């Protein structure tokens, strides 16, 4: 059974590569990177021998824990990469849950990345172990740690596989992925803020907390190399056993639970605010765009990112060697406005394959222009209050309430310019946004160039057009920010006029460009 | 209606190529007004490409398209408000509920909000979608998606309706609803053009057939003249020129062999 699953995994890998040069090159590159990671990881662990024993064991404890977390999170975020991961595909075969667990375990140990992890982890033996007994315990500890990673990852994906296959689960996961990325920024931010000046002390406090979790114990056991180490290994082995038992239980349940991914979700509430919107095309587009910002994971992420980035920026600018003057308050808000504007650079991307519905209804330049007006209004309905809040927050954090007005006026103006430029790039370089869980790949296969060109053009165009209002404000003439809002309105109007003319002539091409298979 | 009415759909030398491959090689499609017309052909015959070009969703490389006598590409204002479209692939605004999708479509076409709501409620009732009208389209089944797509295409009361594979993957109950609505629609003098490769259905519903093969029309006219005494399926296989032999091989298949 184990051999069969390993062969299945190898065959899936090779079958995926057959006849596709891009994928083959990609696989070779991935393997090379995995090899480099294996060698690098091994070398880094081995180098711990040069550090003092305390620091060495602390680093190993933290590294083992990060490894385990990585093993749990990465397959979750990349679910679907590995067809052997999904137990429901195997449900029809006459296998017991135990047989299947053994097979799936073997399959998940096969491949470039698991092997790279094993090699890297083995470096810990080279870096920490002392004496023959230490090496023996070390080898055991590394194998147990590897098993722990595999089993923990398997148990979590199996338990969540039903959720991951449902539409709601995938929606939640896409937003969760952003939060994970943000979490990874936190340590850097904290370090940047100087919460703990001494990295060694930080490492020590982190390691002393993680020391008693199973991965920490495995790492500590290698360094210890004695009876205490053996005891710790027993705990790790028990953890692996418990996780395996949980995994088999989850597997057994998932094999007999019907696939719920096709069951329909709940109903949505009818909007009561819809009646406030103007009748006709503008109101319809605004209502649709606002619903998409709320219900579509890519829409939610698009609005989450400027908030997060501005928050990070505000905190990291504030420091002894940060910027000076009003720029501190105006900068973050303007940056958020630019980010929101850049998202408007491919307005039709989120509509994607459904854009034909607009295309069969639009017969004049005015129709396309009105569509843009609706989209701009929808963005403004969210962004105008958002930028106000961000400006107030940034100014108050800096302790300068007087900067609120210039900050918010400039940001609103920049937003207008961004929307205007976005209307033009949306019709000139439209591209398909991928619908996969991974919310970070920018465009459908083969359209990376368009995506890059579109965002660059939008950023450069918006930057140049916004200079007349931003420059005087940045140079200290804060009263000039009053002019930013009418200037932004003018730019948005001009952009949607131009976008309407070009867009009307290019409608079939735009529909084709945003409807690529992903 | 004293003067000679122009055809509902008329194309001349319609042509489209993708790279080296010619998808549509000079199609002269003709659909008289008020007919229930079927566009049949094997996969890859160019049906979808033809329908996309006729409905203004794909730009032809050459040829002329007229709907009710108006040029689709030169006079879109006159054409687009008078046609309804349901393209292949069920591409709808996934994150709107069925009802919101209809309201969006109606308002996009400039129908007053109250009128849109009235028509949407009626369409939802006829299509048997009242229970799921507030669910997101992304959670709809294939049959529900076809029905909401058809409802959206009918909402502005078009003269000509273009449907690409409207019955593919639809359960019998939903298919029956679709057929009922379409027959009511054509009996009032409106035109339906739909592509399909289910011959029985075309034979049962249509009074006009256009047969496509390898990018051109190989036969078109009233269904009886195309059938010429045969079943439509036989006529189609003769016209397209493929008759497969399923007799050889597979001797092990079935319970009679060991």
Which of A276, A284, A353, A505 to substitute to test the interface with B, most B CBs within 10 Å?
A: A284
CATH entry, B1-82+195-242, from 3.40.50.300, 1.10.10.10, 3.90.1300.10, 3.90.1150.10: 3.40.50.300
The confidence score (pLDDT) of residue A7 equals 86
- The string of pLDDT tens digits covering residues B27-54 is 999 999 999 999 998 888 899 999 999 9
The percentage of chain B sitting over the pLDDT mark of 90, rounded to a whole number, equals 48
Nearest CA in chain A to B60: A508
Predicted pLDDT at A189: 59
- Cα–Cα distance for residue pair A15/A357, rounded to 1 Å: 38
What does the pLDDT average to over B123-132?
90
Which residues lie below 8 Å from residue B9, measured CB to CB, with a gap of 6+?
B29, B30, B31, B37, B54, B65, B66, B67, B160, B191, B193
Dihedral angle over CA of A284, A382, A455, A439, nearest 10: -90
Higher pLDDT: A22 or B69? It is: B69
> Which among A349, A351, A360, A517 is the top mutation candidate for probing chain B, defined by the most B β-carbons within 10 Å of its own β-carbon?
A360
CA distance readout (Å), B152 to A12, A18, B146: 42, 43, 10
Residues A458, A464, A465, A471, Cα dihedral to 10°: 130
CA dist., res. A218 & res. A224, Å (int): 10
**Interface contact flag, B93 A288, Cβ < 8 Å:** yes
Report, as ranges of residue numbers, the positions in chain A whose pLDDT lies below 50.
Answer: 80-81, 196, 437-440
Of B108, B113, B140, the CB nearest to A361: B108
User: Do A357 and B107 make contact, defined as CB atoms within 8 angstroms?
Assistant: no
Q: What pairs with residue B10 in β-bridges?
A: B30, B66
pLDDT of A413 reads 93
The reported pLDDT for the residue numbered A445 is 63
The most distant pair of C-alpha atoms in chain A lies apart, rounded to whole Å, by 82
For residue A448, how far is the Cα from the chain centroid? 18
Q: Report the pLDDT value the prediction gives residue B11, as an integer from 0 to 100.
A: 94
- Which class for B21: exposed (0-12), middle (13-18), buried (19 or more C-beta within 10 A)? exposed
Residues A413, A419, A420, A422: is their CA dihedral positive or negative? positive
Q: Is pLDDT at B121 greater than 90 in this prediction?
A: yes
Distance CA B226, CA B219 (A): 7
Structure-block tokens of residue A165 = 């296959």
What pLDDT is recorded for position A378?
94
Q: Say yes or no to pLDDT of B164 above 50.
A: yes
pTM: 0.77
Quote the CA–CA distance of A81 and A9 in Å, as a whole number.
Answer: 12
| Predicted pLDDT at A266 | 67
For chain B, the structural domain boundaries read: 1-82+195-242
Highest mean pLDDT among A18-22, A131-135, B158-162, B172-176: B158-162
The pLDDT value given to residue A78: 60
Which has the higher per-residue pLDDT, B128 or B244? B128
The larger pLDDT score, comparing residue A186 to residue B25, is at: B25
Residues of A with CB under 8 A from a CB of B: 167, 262, 264-270, 279-281, 283-285, 287-288, 291-292, 295-296, 351, 353-354, 356-364, 507-509, 511-512, 515
| Segments making up each domain of chain A, as ranges | 2-256, 273-514
- Kindly state the helix (H) or strand (E) to which residue B194 belongs, with its residue range: strand B191-196
B-chain residues near A174 (CB < 8 A)? none
């Amino acid at each position: 059974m184990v051999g069969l699953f390993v062969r299945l995994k190898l065959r899936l890998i090779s079958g995926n590569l057959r006849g596709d040069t891009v994928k083959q090159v990609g696989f070779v590159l991935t393997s090379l990177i995995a090899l480099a990671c294996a060698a690098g990881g091994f070398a880094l662990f081995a180098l711990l021998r040069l550090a003092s024993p305390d620091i060495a064991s602390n680093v190993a404890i933290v590294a083992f824990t990060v490894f385990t977390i990585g093993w749990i999170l990465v397959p979750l975020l990349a679910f679907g990469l590995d067809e052997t991961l999904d137990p429901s595909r195997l449900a029809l075969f006459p296998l017991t849950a135990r047989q299947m667990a053994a097979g799936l375990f073997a399959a998940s140990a096969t491949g470039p990345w698991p092997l790279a992890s094993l090699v890297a982890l083995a470096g810990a033996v080279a870096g920490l172990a002392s004496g023959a007994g230490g090496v023996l315990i070390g080898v055991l500890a590394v194998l147990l740690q590897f098993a722990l990673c595999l089993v923990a990852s398997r148990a979590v994906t199996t338990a969540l596989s039903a959720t991951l296959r449902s539409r709601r689960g995938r929606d939640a996961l896409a937003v969760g992925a952003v939060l994970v990325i943000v979490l990874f920024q936190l340590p850097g931010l904290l370090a940047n803020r100087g919460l703990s000046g001494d990295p060694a002390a930080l490492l020590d406090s982190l390691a002393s907390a993680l020391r008693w979790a199973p991965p920490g114990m495995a790492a500590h056991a290698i360094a210890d190399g004695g009876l205490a180490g053996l005891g710790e290994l027993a705990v790790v082995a028990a953890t692996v056993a418990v996780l395996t038992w949980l995994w088999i239980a989850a597997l057994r349940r998932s094999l007999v639970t019907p696939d719920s991914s096709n069951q329909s979700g709940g109903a949505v509430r009818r909007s009561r605010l819809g009646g406030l919107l103007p009748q006709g095309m503008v109101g319809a587009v605004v209502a649709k765009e606002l619903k998409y910002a709320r219900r579509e994971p890519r829409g939610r992420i698009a609005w989450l990112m400027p908030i997060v980035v501005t928050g990070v920026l505000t905190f990291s600018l504030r420091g002894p060697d940060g910027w000076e003057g009003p720029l501190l308050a105006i900068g973050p808000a303007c940056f958020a406005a630019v980010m929101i504007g850049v998202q408007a650079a491919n307005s039709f991307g989120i509509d994607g394959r459904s854009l034909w519905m607009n295309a069969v209804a639009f017969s004049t330049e005015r129709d396309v222009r009105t569509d843009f007006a609706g989209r701009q209004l929808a963005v403004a309905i969210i962004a105008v209050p958002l930028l106000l809040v961000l400006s107030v927050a940034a100014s108050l954090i800096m302790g300068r309430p007087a900067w609120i007005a210039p900050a918010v006026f400039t940001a609103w103006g920049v937003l207008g310019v961004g929307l205007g430029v976005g209307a033009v790039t949306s019709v000139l370089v439209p591209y398909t946004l991928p619908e996969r869980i991974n919310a970070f790949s920018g465009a459908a296969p083969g359209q990376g160039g368009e995506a890059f060109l579109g965002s660059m053009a939008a950023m450069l165009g918006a930057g140049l057009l916004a200079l007349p209002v931003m420059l005087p404000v940045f140079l200290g003439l804060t009263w000039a920010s009053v002019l930013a809002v009418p200037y932004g309105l003018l730019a948005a109007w001009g952009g949607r006029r131009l976008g309407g003319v070009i867009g009307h002539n290019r409608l079939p091409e735009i529909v084709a460009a945003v409807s690529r298979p992903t | 209606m004293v003067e000679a009415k122009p055809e509902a759909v008329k194309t001349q030398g319609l042509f489209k190529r993708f790279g080296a491959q010619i998808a549509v090689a000079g199609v002269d499609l003709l659909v008289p007004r008020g007919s229930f017309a079927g566009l049949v052909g094997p996969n890859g015959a160019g049906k979808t490409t033809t329908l996309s070009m006729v409905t203004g969703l794909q730009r032809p490389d050459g040829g002329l398209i007229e709907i009710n006598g108006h040029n689709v590409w030169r006079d879109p204002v006159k054409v687009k408000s008078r046609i309804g479209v349901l393209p292949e692939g069920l591409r709808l605004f996934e994150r709107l509920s069925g009802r919101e999708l209809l309201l969006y479509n109606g308002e996009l076409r400039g129908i007053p909000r109250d009128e849109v709501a009235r028509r949407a409620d009626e369409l939802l009732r006829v299509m048997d979608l009242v229970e799921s009208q507030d669910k997101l389209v992304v959670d709809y089944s294939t049959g529900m998606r076809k029905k909401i797509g058809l409802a959206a295409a009918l909402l502005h009361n078009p003269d000509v309706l273009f449907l690409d594979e409207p019955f593919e993957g639809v359960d019998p109950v939903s298919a029956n609803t679709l057929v009922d609505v379409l027959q009511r629609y054509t009996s009032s003098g409106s035109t339906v053009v739909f592509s399909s490769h289910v011959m029985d259905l075309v034979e049962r519903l249509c009074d006009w057939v256009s047969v496509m093969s390898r990018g051109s029309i190989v036969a078109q006219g009233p269904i009886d003249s195309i059938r010429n005494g045969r079943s439509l399926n036989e006529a189609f296989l003769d016209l397209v020129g493929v008759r497969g032999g399923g007799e050889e091989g597979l001797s092990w298949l079935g319970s009679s062999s060991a």
